[in-house]
Structure 1
Amino acid sequence: MSPPLPGLTRSNVGLEALSGVTLVAIAVPLNIGYAQIAGLPPTAGLYALVVPAVLYALTVSSRQVVASPDAAAAALVASSVGGLAVAGSADYLSMALAQAIISGLMFVACSVLKLGFLATFLSKPILVGFVGGLALDILVSQLAKMLGVRIESGDEFVDKVGQLVAGLDTVNWICVVISSMSLAILLVGRRLNRSVPWALVVLVVTTLAVVWADLASRGVSVLGKVEAGPPQLTVPQLELTVWLSLVPSALALTMVTMAEGLLVSRSYGAKNGYATDPNRDLAAFGVGNIASGLTGGFAVGSSTSRTAAMDQAGSRTQLPSIVAAALALLLLVFGTAVLEDIPSPAIGAVVAVAVFPLLGIPELRELWDLNRFELGVAAACFLGTLLLGPIPGIFIAFVLALVNLARRAASPAVDVLGAEADADHALTPLPTGRSMTVPGVVVMRFAAPIFFANVGQLDESIHAAVEAAQASPPEDGTPLAHLVLDMEAVTDIDVTGAEGFGECRTWLAARGVQLHYSRVRPRVAVLLGHYGLDEGTTAFGTNRAAIEALTTEVDSR
């Protein structure tokens, strides 16, 4: 049986515990900010640091991924629950808790069904676009806080921008000074020493300034009273119809967290030399989200920024999450009064700096250089999420994923192969100026399963190759008599593919060309027989000697 915290030893326990202090210093201000984005009380962000974090740390396979509410989760909660209830109301909080529980149950179901592979379904461009759209929406809200302009956080992006522009004549210049100082400390401090919890420094300094100069009386918004006490068991009391209405947004939370969380887990495991189990990680996310919903928190996912901070601090176990949970609990029981005077402009600056990298500007620039189609996919997800909302955005992401998958599956590589003079040399794509592999023979390679989406391309490619070979015979005048299809990359044939391929065989026979198969997989050989496509000979190699032996044998019959 593996230890509760793999990687923890007597020699590193001190470093790991100290990393937990750093983690709580980073997480407290961010979680308060994310709770505000979600339209929830600050305690919802703090409660998510306690029981959910401990249970996740004890069940996850990753030694480093930190589970916590993040920007994407906060934005999804605000947009989805905000359409069903008024932010700040009891029903709103209950729905956010229920949403976390539903998402947790979905994670557990995915783990039981071993669906961890689904994390690869959302490609990088789709994630970049989706998360980038959420990030820009969040940044508009944080910019309003930094300027002291009041806007409705639950509104759509365009409405928020309109309110922000309309409210520019109400800018509070004290708020501007506070947020500017906060940004300077965060950005310069991070360059000087990344191990310092600069977000905590910002909140301490600006809170002291607010209290000393009584800036709250001069229009600077502060966090306000924060409820004290440990997390308690809270079962949301909602009608069944309300639970069902939360399923689509919970599914969106689950899919985004799954894709990002498993990617982060796998990358850090590979980087630091330990194995991870995606299905166990899904179960851990499930346990964490259910616990969060039952103890007053909201949806948790993988925190990329906090995980990176722990990696830079040298942490290689989950002990920091447990230490941070203990310290957060002490803060909730004894220290919430120190949070009341935290200025909103400073919180806005902290969240803005944390969220800005999620815009994905470097990734979009890279896509511009590498693949314009995938840049278009990212842009479509970005705009869909930004202008229509996260739920339509995730739907657009799935549709684009299917379109991208179908586009690639429907256009596999089809090569006409050429033979070198050396009989043992493997066949390679046919050089320019030649139409046959060897006199009388064309060898083609189809690099995909044959199914309804691509059988048309296979048919067109065979027609084009045969017509080219018959129109331009070799110098010795040998007519085309054989077409060999290299089947090594063909792993499956469906009914529509078999029907289209059968028509192609008939067309070849009418042109006086005999079809042969090369390097057929056992399962595909069974399918060829099942569909009545197995008539003819099979070559077991794709070099010149094998092809010439095949045609000699056939021609001698």
Structure 2
Amino acid sequence: MAFEPFKGVRPLTRASALRDSLAGVMLASMNVPQLLGYARIAGMPAVTGLYAGFLPLVAFACFGASRHLVVAADSATATIFASRLSTMAAPGSAEYVALAGMTALLTALMLLIARVFRLGFLADFLSRTVLVGFLTGVGVQVGIAMLGDMLGLTVSSRRTVVQLGQIVKQLPHLHWPTFAIAAAVVALILVFKHYRPRWPVPLVTVVAGIAFSASLNFAAHGISIMGPVAGGLPPFSFPAVGWFQVMDLLQVAASCFVIIVAQSAATSRAFAQQYHERTDDDANLLGLAAANVAAGLSGAFVVNGSPTQTAMGDSAGARSQFAQLVFAGVVLLVLLFASRWLQYLPHCVLAAIVFTIAVGLVHIGQLIDIRKESRGEFRLAVTTAIAVVVIGVENGILIAIGLSLLRHVRHSYRPHTMVLVPNEQGRWLPETSQPGMQTAPGLIVYRFGADLFYANDHLFVDEVKLLVDSAPATVRCLVVDATAITDLDYSAGRSVNDLCEELEHRGIKVVFGRVNRYLRADMDRHGITPVVGAGNIYQTLHEALAAARPDLNIHAEN
């Protein structure tokens, strides 16, 4: 597919430009404080949060395809690389900033490779359940990390459990004025978020915090403030990072890559579906790669397609990337003309804003819904959240993906198996397979609930033998309902062949029903068809049962 610049902007009319311009200003008013908060989460200088909301947005608008996705700083990716980079350099230092820039460039390279090889489908391997658990864990981790600044306490560790212990030990020494300001900000934001979600309350609290801090000299009263903040255009340079450090950053970049692909794809698909638009995951990968190149070269850090900021943009009325371009323009104005005032911003105000972001990431309602529908997936979500909090975001997400894939493999390894048995009215209905079950005297209709492959072929063979051996009447015919079997590998082919030959020697006829053309091709290729007989393989279950009736003299139907 040819590259189409500004695909997420076009078509643009005068009316839509005006609408998106107003939405972009509203989005900027709500998000500028959050950009500062994301920089805080990332351990970066505050101004780099604004950098992350400038050129990366322009780059995605140029190269991406989604009309709605807001690509900027995000708490999930910020937490991932901060957890690793903080062990390599002091947060906020020039070396740390360089490492963050290189992480963004490595992430961009992985996204570009994914685009070249059309790997947008990788987004499907991180389930919504895992994302809910991951974001919940990130929310808990970020919330705890902000408590030190909100309480006026010193927290030295980057590990969540240790941080919590340090805070508990220092509680008798909390700074009450700092705590009062933070509590007021949290209460205001959460109350207005519930009743007036479109009001830019975080921006109001930042402006008020700066005004009160400058006029009342908060710093003289023991309330920590940000201090001088560099303004102007972002610096352009290639991060000065050594080769061995680059190798250390590969795992961090890979973790960011996975989250970006999954979270951005899920968000862009959701909003495209809402507005009946087509999605192009591969074009979005190119846009995300360009955005992270812009971030890495402009002194910022990894950017992501943010679900929360995209939802905020949608609620503000944004319907194309033109709104994001206006958002970037507002950020540029802040960088050029308002950055000097940020030095008076109290850390407790910024920490309180970040804390409310963290609260929004803890999806208790979704966890409850997951538990109601699937206890197994609920355990997966909770395990993911605990892994993120205890082990760290970087390794937690990899564990989460592994658990998600293992759960899928387990379903294939131990699929549901059933036998058709008659009910009180004599109608055959599927029931969970148990020894001693039979469909009719001399007949067993067995249904296997997954593809047959090397890990589950023994289950198929063992269960069929057990059903045959424990049947109350001598089995003369086994009908395999192959509804769920679409694929059969070499190992399974050998096992099925051996089973059919053994049953034939015992005088038991084997018939396959509901065999689709893909399974039939596998049966032909692996030599099962000659063993069973081409005349005993049918496309429907009714035909298979009809083939069994002459030998059994049965008349019931499924």
TM-score under structure 2 normalisation? 0.91
Alpha-carbon distance between aligned partners in 1 of 2:552 and 2:112, rounded to the nearest angstrom: 58
Is 1:464 the counterpart of 2:466? The answer is yes
Contact 2:418 2:430 in 1 (8 A): yes
The 5 A counterparts of 1:308-347 are 308-347=311-350
Give the counterpart letter for 1:132 in structure 2.
T
> Secondary structure in 2 aligned to 1:12?
helix
Residues 465-505 of structure 1, C-alpha deviations (whole Å, 9 max, x = no match):
32343x2x3xxxxx532212233432221122122222322
Q: CA deviation at 1:129?
A: 2.3
Is 1:76 the counterpart of 2:71? The answer is no
> Secondary structure in 2 aligned to 1:246?
helix
Alpha-carbon distance between aligned partners in 2 of 1:3 and 1:249, rounded to the nearest angstrom: 30
Residue of structure 2 aligned with 1:142, choices 135, 139, 146:
146
Residues 237-269 of structure 1, C-alpha deviations (whole Å, 9 max, x = no match):
111111111000110011012111111111111
Is 1:533 the counterpart of 2:528? The answer is yes
Q: CA deviation at 1:554?
A: 11
Change (3 A) 1:430 1:367: closer
> Secondary structure in 2 aligned to 1:332?
helix
Q: CA deviation at 1:398?
A: 2.6
Residue 92 of structure 2: aligned partner: 88
> Secondary structure in 1 aligned to 2:503?
helix
Alpha-carbon distance between aligned partners in 2 of 1:372 and 1:546, rounded to the nearest angstrom: 37
Contact 1:417 1:443 in 2 (8 A): yes
Alpha-carbon distance between aligned partners in 1 of 2:180 and 2:23, rounded to the nearest angstrom: 32
Paired residues, number: 545
Which deviates more from structure 2 when the two are superposed, residues 528-537 or residues 542-551? Answer: 542-551
Q: CA deviation at 1:109?
A: 1.0
Which deviates more from structure 2 when the two are superposed, residues 142-151 or residues 537-546? Answer: 537-546
Alpha-carbon distance between aligned partners in 1 of 2:65 and 2:476, rounded to the nearest angstrom: 59
Alpha-carbon distance between aligned partners in 1 of 2:188 and 2:398, rounded to the nearest angstrom: 39
Residue of structure 2 aligned with 1:514, choices 500, 503, 509:
509
Is 1:50 the counterpart of 2:54? The answer is yes
Give the counterpart letter for 2:252 in structure 1.
S
Contact 1:419 1:544 in 2 (8 A): no
Residue 450 of structure 1: aligned partner: 452
Give the counterpart letter for 1:465 in structure 2.
L
Is 1:294 the counterpart of 2:297? The answer is yes
Alpha-carbon distance between aligned partners in 1 of 2:518 and 2:249, rounded to the nearest angstrom: 44
Is 1:16 the counterpart of 2:20? The answer is yes
Contact 1:420 1:544 in 2 (8 A): no
Is 1:548 the counterpart of 2:546? The answer is yes
Alpha-carbon distance between aligned partners in 2 of 1:233 and 1:520, rounded to the nearest angstrom: 61
Give the counterpart letter for 1:173 in structure 2.
W
Q: CA deviation at 1:420?
A: 10
Q: CA deviation at 1:63?
A: 1.1
Q: CA deviation at 1:393?
A: 1.0
Residue 219 of structure 1: aligned partner: 222
Residues 115-149 of structure 1, C-alpha deviations (whole Å, 9 max, x = no match):
11111212223222222222212111212111111
Give the % identical residues.
29
Alpha-carbon distance between aligned partners in 2 of 1:529 and 1:294, rounded to the nearest angstrom: 57
In structure 2, stretches of 5+ residues that fail to align are 554-558
Contact 1:81 1:92 in 2 (8 A): yes
Residue 124 of structure 1: aligned partner: 128
Residue 151 of structure 1: aligned partner: 155
Give the counterpart letter for 1:497 in structure 2.
A
The 5 A counterparts of 1:258-297 are 258-297=261-300
> Secondary structure in 2 aligned to 1:6?
coil
Alpha-carbon distance between aligned partners in 1 of 2:548 and 2:268, rounded to the nearest angstrom: 51
The 5 A counterparts of 1:101-250 are 101-152=105-156, 155-250=158-253
Which deviates more from structure 2 when the two are superposed, residues 1-10 or residues 52-61? Answer: 1-10
Which deviates more from structure 2 when the two are superposed, residues 370-379 or residues 301-310? Answer: 370-379
Q: CA deviation at 1:431?
A: 10
Q: CA deviation at 1:232?
A: 2.9
Contact 2:417 2:432 in 1 (8 A): no
Change (3 A) 1:224 1:503: same
Change (3 A) 1:398 1:191: closer
Alpha-carbon distance between aligned partners in 1 of 2:460 and 2:407, rounded to the nearest angstrom: 19
Alpha-carbon distance between aligned partners in 1 of 2:286 and 2:552, rounded to the nearest angstrom: 59
Residues 217-246 of structure 1, C-alpha deviations (whole Å, 9 max, x = no match):
111111211111112321011111111110
Q: CA deviation at 1:407?
A: 0.8
Alpha-carbon distance between aligned partners in 2 of 1:192 and 1:440, rounded to the nearest angstrom: 68
> Secondary structure in 1 aligned to 2:411?
helix
Alpha-carbon distance between aligned partners in 2 of 1:529 and 1:463, rounded to the nearest angstrom: 23
Q: CA deviation at 1:546?
A: 5.0
Change (3 A) 1:296 1:462: same
Which deviates more from structure 2 when the two are superposed, residues 322-331 or residues 169-178? Answer: 169-178
Residue of structure 1 aligned with 2:477, choices 462, 473, 482:
482
Give the counterpart letter for 2:506 in structure 1.
R
> Secondary structure in 1 aligned to 2:394?
helix
Contact 1:60 1:284 in 2 (8 A): yes
Residue 256 of structure 2: aligned partner: 253
Contact 2:102 2:246 in 1 (8 A): yes
Q: CA deviation at 1:271?
A: 1.1
Alpha-carbon distance between aligned partners in 1 of 2:493 and 2:411, rounded to the nearest angstrom: 20
Change (3 A) 1:141 1:430: closer
> Secondary structure in 1 aligned to 2:511?
strand
Residue of structure 1 aligned with 2:495, choices 480, 500, 510:
500
TM-score under structure 1 normalisation? 0.92
Contact 1:260 1:302 in 2 (8 A): yes
Is 1:415 the counterpart of 2:418? The answer is yes
Residue of structure 2 aligned with 1:374, choices 369, 377, 380:
377
Alpha-carbon distance between aligned partners in 2 of 1:3 and 1:210, rounded to the nearest angstrom: 42
Change (3 A) 1:7 1:304: farther
Contact 2:263 2:306 in 1 (8 A): no
> Secondary structure in 2 aligned to 1:352?
helix
> Secondary structure in 1 aligned to 2:498?
helix
Q: CA deviation at 1:103?
A: 0.6
Alpha-carbon distance between aligned partners in 2 of 1:464 and 1:328, rounded to the nearest angstrom: 70
Residue 476 of structure 1: aligned partner: none
Q: CA deviation at 1:507?
A: 3.2
Residue 556 of structure 2: aligned partner: none
